[in-house]
Structures are given as structure tokens and as C-alpha cells.
Structure 1
Amino acid sequence: MQPFDTGAAHERILRHVQQLIQLTEDEKAYFLEQLKPRVLRRKQFLVQMGEVCRFETFVVKGCLRAFAVDPKGQEHVVLFALEDWWISDFQSLSTEQPATLYVEALEETHVLQIEKKELEQLYLAVPAFERFFRLKLQNAFISFQNRIFSTISQTAEERYLAFRQRYPLIEQRVPQYLIASYLGFTPEFLSKIRRELATRR
């Protein structure tokens, strides 16, 4: 595995954060002190169903997926996360109840994590971070709401085209069967859609 480049990781997360809030040098230093670097191997779990999720996780490099497993053992992809995305089992993190999701690295992945108790202290020490994470949560809610709306109002082809337009990097890096799971298709049905689209070019 590649070594974790802490300096580059800190620069990346500060650029990301300062798109929404402005920090003093002391606030930057305090924030960075709370972050814990971690490297995940391909197929290693960040979170597993049944354990309590205790970290917010920022993706520095790599790709992860969050998925649930139904009673029949079928996996359902809920979320992908690439560079500059945050991921965790948000319900477990908030309620301190066991996670209902698995979060798995799809490739070697470098992350920065902040534990819930440090996050609460960060809100007190640097109040601007309450706004930052509130905006992130709002954006995540809007994304899930749009996904639900597309599921009930769009054709399968329209859903796939919207996904491809919104997340072009995901399609390039994630296996087709996982994209099919995210969209609620079988891999065979997604292959059929892609073939039909290809014939129209």
C-alpha cells in the first residue's frame, strides 16, 4: 500500500472546508489536530453492520461504497464516495446505535477521520464547523430526496443517464454491477440499457 501523505491530505481537506467556511490559522491547526489518518486496503471495511459508527470520514484518495444487505442476502448500494466526499453510517453516528450499513473500500483508499466526541468539541471551539456540517447534511438530504423522486418518476434509462451525467467519475471507476445495484437494476438490465444507448449514437 502507498504511504499516507499527511501534508497533501491536510491541504486537500482544508481546500474542501474553505469552500464553505473561512478559518483562521489557529482554527485550521486545531481542526487538523483532531483528524486521524487511515489507509484501507481494497475490500476492507470502514464500517460493518452491527457495530457503532464513531467517525465522520473524509475521502482523501480512493473510492468506497455504502451498502445494506436484505434478509435474502442481496446487497443494495446506497452511496458511493470518491475524493472530497464524506461517508459514514450517519444514522449510527448520530444515535450511537449499531450500524445498518457496511462501508467498504473499492480500491486502496486514504481517509481522514474525526471521532464524534472530537467533532462535538470542534463545534464548541470553532463554531463555523457547525455551519459546515449542517450544509453538508442538507446537501446529502437533497441528494437522497432527488434520488427517491427519480426512482418514482423517471424511466430506467432516464435514471441511468442522470446518474452518468451527475457522477461521471463514478462510472469510470466502479464496476457495472455495483452501479446497477445503486440504480435498482440487475446488471443484465443495465447492460441492455447501455447497448440500446450505444446503437443510437
Structure 2
Amino acid sequence: MHQQLISYINSHNTLPLTSEEEELVKTAFQPKKIRRKQYFLQEGDVCKYSAFIVKGAMRQYSVDEKGVEHVVHIFVENYWASDRESMIMLTPSVFNIDAWEDTEMLIITRAEMLSLMSKIPALVEMIRLMDERNAIANQRRLNSTISSTAERRYEEFASNHPQFIQRFPQHLIASFLGITKETLSRIRKQSVK
């Protein structure tokens, strides 16, 4: 289980982890399994952990006053799941994170991660790279949401994330893209033609 995380860290760095650093990682990250539909984080709770997904799929969403779910992130293997604002600011989360499939993950607290980062420079490099990629992805998603048609948003999503199309149902993908499931159904039918 830990080997997948170590491979991920090494793939996001110029220098591989030493055997001593690998042992520190194995000690700090704890395995956790949750069943489908089980919560990793519930709205109103403070997020205490970041999770590296080893196997499975999860979603992060909010629920509005009408009871409508708004998916903000979907995660599969080799993705990180958490509510960073809640974790950093120690504020109640406005999001739920639950398992869409039975999920195996490695979890770590913020304090443990900061401690590891002080001992393992490769983690600092990995997190910097992840933050840069996340900022770019969020900027692209925001621009797409405000300036692209629903058809274009779906095309880009399907092109960039085909694994999500296969793992998540249409209504979750539609919510993630900010469109109705009926619109997504129409777009998919047109793309088949």
C-alpha cells in the first residue's frame, strides 16, 4: 500500500527518496479503508486528514438549501482528498467527502505532514508541484465554467479525464461540470452521432 505512495512521491521529484525517508513516510501515513457511501469528512466537521487514494473513488461536494448536491472534486487512485481550507484554518467544512467506491487510502494529519516536510525535502518539492498544478487546473476550470459552452466543457473533461467518465455516473459528472444531467445526456447523445 505504501509503495504506491512512495512511487508517487518519487515521480514528482528530481531525487528519489532514500530508504530512511521511505521509512519515515511509511510510519507517518496510516492505512484506512472506507466502504462505498461512507464519509471521510462530513459538513460541519473540521478536516483532520489528507488522504492519498491507493484504490477506489471518492467525491467532494456541498449540499445547498434545496438539498441539491454540487460536486467540486472527484478523486481516483493517486489523487489526494481533503478540505484544505478546513484543515489549515481549523474551521468547520462546508463539504462532504465520501467514497463512491470501496476505498483504500493512506491518511496523514497536517502536523505530521509538516513534520515530514521538515525532514524530507522531496515532499516540499512534491507539494510545490502539486500546488502549481492545482492552481492551474482551478484557473482553467473557472475559465471554462464562465466562458465555455456545456458541450466544450464536457469535451475537455472527457479528453483530459477519461478514467472519470468510466468510474462516475452521469449525474455526478454533470454536477462537477456545472450542468444538468439532462444537458449532459443530450451532449453525450450528440457526440455519439
Distance 2:131 2:154 in 1: 25
The corresponding residue for 2:25 is 31
* Structure 1 residue corresponding to 2:10, chosen from 15, 18, 25: 18
The one-letter amino acid of 1:107's match is E
Residues 117-196 of structure 1 mapped to structure 2, 5 A cutoff: 117-196=111-190
Q: Distance in 1 between matches of 2:48 and 2:125?
A: 20
Unaligned runs of 5+ in 2: none
Determine helix, strand or coil for the equivalent of 1:189.
helix
Are the counterparts in 1 of residues 54 and 104 from structure 2 also a CA contact under 8 Å?
A: yes
Q: TM-score, normalised by structure 1?
A: 0.92
Distance 1:119 1:93 in 2: 12
One-letter identity of the residue aligned with 1:161: E
Deviation at 1:109, TM superposition (A): 0.4
Residue 127 of structure 1, CA deviation: 2.8
In the other structure, the counterpart of 1:106 is: 100
CA separation in 1, counterparts of 2:190 and 2:12? 41
Q: CA RMSD in A?
A: 1.0
SS at match of 2:173: helix
d(CA) in 1 for partners of 2:9, 2:120: 13
Identity %: 38
State the AA in 2 paired with 1:69. V
Q: Secondary structure at the match of 2:91?
A: coil
| TM-score normalized with structure 2 length | 0.96
Q: How many residues get paired?
A: 191
83, 90, 103: which one aligns with 2:84: 90
User: Which residue type is aligned with residue 113 of structure 2?
Assistant: L
Give the partner amino acid of 1:175.
Answer: P
Contact conserved, 2:56 with 2:102, CA < 8 A, in 1?
yes
Distance (Å, rounded) in 1 between the aligned partners of 2:110 and 2:130: 16
